[in-house]
Each structure stands twice: as structure tokens, then as C-alpha cells.
Amino acid sequence: MLIISGLNKSYGDQILFQDVDLNIAPKERIGLIGRNGSGKSTFLKMLLGEEFFLEGEIKIPKGYRIRSLEQHLNFSEKTILDQICSALPGNSSNESWKAKSILMGLGFEEKDFDRAPSEFSSGFQVRIRLAEALVSESDLLLLDEPTNYLDILSLRWLERFLKTWKGAFILITHDQRFMDLVVTHTVAIHRGHMRKMAGGPMKLMQHIKKDEEIYDKTRKNQEKKRVQEEEFIRKFRSGARSAGLVQSRIKSLAKQEIKLKLDNIPTIKFHFRSIPCKSDSVIYATNLTFGYVPDQPLIQDLSLTTFPGDRIAIIGRNGKGKSTLLKLLHQTLSPDSGKVRMPPTLAVSYFGIDSIQELIPRRSILEELVATSDASEQEVRNLCGSLLFRGDDAKKPINVISGGEKSRVCLGKTLLRPSQLLMLDEPTNHLDMESVEALTEAIEKYEGTVIFVTHNEDMLSRLATKLVLFDNNKIQVLEYGYDKFLAGGGWSEDGSLMGSTGTTDTSGDSNLNNKEARKQQRLLKKQIEKLEREIEKLEEQKKELGEVLKKACLAKDVEAIANHGVEMKKLEKLIDSKYEEMDEKMEGVI
């Protein structure tokens, strides 16, 4: 078990977290949540020994192996297969099949194994680093945003892989659905403290919200009572007969711990401004063909008509042409053949995966937004505030802010431009969970047309009314949303559509099977929730027993130490068995 006690971390006057006590058990799968800038990535670096801390202790057992998703993209081996095999545990260097299996799960093909890592895009190089971490079979795996640059199919493979992970891991991701499916516990960094609870992120966030509501109610009652007590003291201070009562109340107030009002945590706000569209169609694309390599088209003979109010999601494996199609429709790229037509007065707002690279590093956030829009400086300042760049934060140079902050700046550009068509390519990358939710809500309220690429299945489910599906070497336009697509079969494990047509025409038997499967899923989820509650109670018992055992050790009570030690072993064995039972049931949950 990895034990963290009394941990404190700050940068100057900014306290990231203080007095952190946290244990990580051998099979715990932990989701780490908190707003951007709360210290999630810093905490992982502290576990790796890459970041110092002021006070506290991190006790790592002897021989305990920690592996992280490395961020730098410099590789030492000639081929990606050699690179992954170099990360295999020392006694299993001949087990290259494990490396191949993981690479294929993350979207690589067998023909890629002998290619050099440098030949791949930065997105696929991140996948190489992820494959290295996954093949390591470490005791503790640290995964900082592994879902960035993964498509839906790779995400689903990673979900299944992590559910069977034999060690512990700590996961940071903006994808709440993904975290819900793979973690056994959640740790939140909130108001400078860490709190751990069995279950997914939503459960813990609800508990924190409820606790703060109770705290605030108690604080208000305390203030009301204090005012009453102070009024009594003022009224009867001079009376000899009531002197004893007055002194008693003065002493009582002096001992009372004053509950301070909690600061309001600012929330991000997105608002896309729309302009009415008078045209019957927004984009009319006919027979589009395009490829980066001659005679190897990524997109061939695709026709697509977009109407006002459409919400079109482009989905499929990475590297198959999703972003390319968005650029063709935006007319950033020209097709090899075919045409893209749109009204000449159409107002378009575009956010691309390469938008961050287009920011001018020397400019401040404010200067960048002012320079790329017709809005007044005051309008831009107001926008900066809604994007959590308040006061002097808006004057920070682009080259010193984080990836998440740069992403917000780029989204800010689209917010400043009133539009009839919104085009978004992976807008959730680098955002935290709260920001992803705010962004999704803003797109829901936008009255124009939206064409977007995302691997976030919650966003797809809530927004898409039409799909452009890249299925192996075919592109299909489906006149329905993502939920209906999943109900008709959705994705298979090998990345192709379930069924040959991708339509929702299924037989009565299939519908019956789907109904039974959903019933079974609901039953499994209820059983998992029950196990989570049981584990939570057992963990609390374990914590209490640990305190008793600690006191016995301090008192050097040998008999008590022996008895409580036996109890602790039994309790740990019971907890492990509950985790194993939960793992088995989670295998059946999609």
C-alpha cells in the first residue's frame, strides 16, 4: 500500500493542497478530479518524485513499481514495436505479443509495427507512450489525460483493458463517462484538500455539494446565534445579578470556532452567438474526393447536404479522415474533385485541433482575442472573465499558459464571432469536466447549425441529430442521432459496425436480446452500487481499526497489536474479495 500523510504543496501564495492524508490500496482504480489548475498533474509528479513538496511524507513500499504516461515524445528505439517491448517487465522481454495486442487495441495496424515512432503524428505518438505505460505491468499506473487523441473505438478498448488491470491506477480525464466506467474510487482536489470515496466522480461531487450546503446552513445558524449572544452580553453586562450568566456566555463565545463563509468558486461560461440563417441549406457538398497521397483517397465520392439547425457529428477511427472532412467543408482544404458550396454571406466559427498552434506566443490572452475579432476591448475583457481569465490573468503571455488555458483562448475566438455555422474539431481536449459540461450546454443552446468531431460519447448522445460515419474504408451518412446508432448495434470490438448496413432495422429476436441485455446491465449496475456501499463501510472500519492499531503500537501493547493485526488481515482480505467480485461484475457492464 502507498501511504501519503500530511502532504502540503503551494506555489508562492497559491496553496494547491494542504494536510493531505491518502492511502492507495493494491487494487484500487482511482479517478482524480478537480478543476484545471487545482494540482492534479502536480500531484502525479510528486508521486513520481519529479515535483518537490514542502511538508509531509509519501511512503512507497520497497520494490513498488510506478509507471506514468510520459509527456515527452522523444523515442530511443528504431521501431514502435521495439519501443513498446523495451517497456516490458525485465523477465518478459520475449513476450512481444503483449506489445502487439496493446498497439492494435490503440488503433495501430500490424503493418505499423516496423515503422519508426517519428513517422507518426503527435496524436499517435501519444498513443505509443500510452502503450508503453500499459505494457509495463506496474504496481501503480499514473494516467494523465490518456483519452486525449483517442477515438471512440480505442477508448472502448482502453476501457476494457483498465477494467482488467491487476494493479492500482490513478486516472485524470475530462471524460466523465469513461471515468465512471473504469474506476472503483474517486479522489477530488477541492478547496485545497483531497477527499476520497468509493464510486464514480458524480457521487463524490454530490457528496461535496451536500456537505457544503450543510456547512453553510450551520454557519448561518451559528452567526444568528452569535448575534443573539452578543446582544444578551451588551444588554446585561452592567447588571450585577446577571454577571455570572454574562461571563459564561463570553467564555462560550471565545471558545467557539468561527465558521468562515466559503468563497464562491468561479464557473466557466460559454455562449455561442448565433445569426438567423435565411438559406434553405447551409453546406452543399457533392462527390468530394480527397487524399494526401496520390491514388490513396481518404474520402471518396462523398455528398452531404447540411440544413439550418442540423447537429452533425463526424465519427470513426482516428486517421481515417474526420478532421480532413471538416477542413474540406470549412474550405480550409480544397478537394481533389467535387465541390463544396455555401452561401457567400454565411458566417462561420471554426475551432480546429491545430488552432492552438496558430496562437501567437508573445501576445497576451487579451491581445490575442482583441487582434482576432471586431469586438471592443471591454467586450473581450468580459469574455476573459467568463473564461476564468480574471484581472491580471488576462495579461499572461500565451507561451506561459497551460494546454487547457490555450484551448479556452481558441474557444474564446469562436465565442466572439456571431455565426450561423459552428464547426468544432475535438473541442473537449484539455478541458476539465466542468468545462466540458459548460461547453456541451452552450452548444445545446446555440440556434445555428453545428458540425463537430468528438470522441466524447456523452456529447454525441446529447447533441447529434445526424452522423457521418467513417466505417473502415466506407463513409456513411446516417439520418439519425448517436443513441439510435448504438441501439441499432453501434460499434463492434474490431472497430466495424455491428451489422452490414449500419441501419437500425433489427429483427424481433435482436430487439428482444437487446432488451434482455439492457435488463441484465441494470441488474449488474445495482449489484455494483451495493458492493461500492459495502466497500465504503469496510474501508471506514479499516481506517478506525488502523487508528486503534496505531495507539496499540504507541502503547507497546504486544497482545493488542497481535489481535488487531489479525483483525486487519481479515478485513483487508474481505475488502480484496469485494473488489474482485466488483471487477467480475464490471466486466459485464458496457
Query: What is the identity of the amino acid at 197?
Result: M
Q: What is the pLDDT of residue 512?
A: 42
Amino acid occupying residue 153: L
Q: Looking at the DSSP assignment, which residues form a beta bridge with residue 67?
A: 141
Classified as helix, coil or strand, 545 is: helix
Tracing cell 467564555 back to the chain, one arrives at 251
Local confidence pLDDT in tens for the 590 residues of the chain = 899 999 999 887 788 888 999 999 999 999 999 988 888 999 999 999 998 888 899 999 999 999 999 888 889 999 999 999 988 887 555 678 889 999 999 989 999 999 999 999 888 999 999 999 999 889 999 999 999 889 898 999 999 999 999 999 999 999 999 999 999 999 999 998 999 999 999 999 999 999 999 989 988 988 898 888 888 888 877 766 667 787 888 888 888 888 888 888 888 899 999 999 888 889 999 999 999 988 888 899 999 999 999 999 999 888 889 999 999 999 999 999 999 999 989 999 999 888 888 899 999 999 999 988 888 888 899 999 999 898 888 999 999 888 788 889 999 999 998 999 999 999 988 888 888 999 999 999 999 999 999 999 999 999 999 999 988 778 999 999 999 998 887 776 554 554 434 433 333 444 444 455 556 666 776 777 778 778 878 888 888 888 887 788 778 787 887 888 888 888 878 887 887 777 666 655 44
pLDDT in tens, 520-541: 666 776 777 778 778 878 888 8
Amino acid at site 234:
R
Cell 471518396 appears where? 300
Q: pTM value?
A: 0.77
The helix (H) or strand (E) run that includes residue 520 is helix 508-554
Interval 323-350: pLDDT, tens: 999 999 999 999 999 999 999 899 999 9
Q: Which residues contact 526 (CB under 8 A, 6 or more apart)?
A: none
Q: What is the pLDDT of residue 12?
A: 77
Task: Read off the pLDDT of residues 407-421 as tens digits, 9 standing for 90 and up.
Answer: 899 999 999 989 999
d(CA 589, CA 363): 48
Q: How is residue 327 written as a grid cell?
A: 477542413
Residue type, 68: S
Report whether 477 contacts 502 (CB < 8 A): no
> How many Cα atoms sit within 13 Å of 183 on the Cβ side?
30
CA neighbor of 477 nearest in space, from 315, 279, 253: 315
Tell me the CA distances in angstroms from 320 to 130, 223, 323, 412, 472, one per residue in order.
21, 62, 9, 29, 8
The tally of CA atoms less than 13 A away on the side-chain side of residue 393 is 18
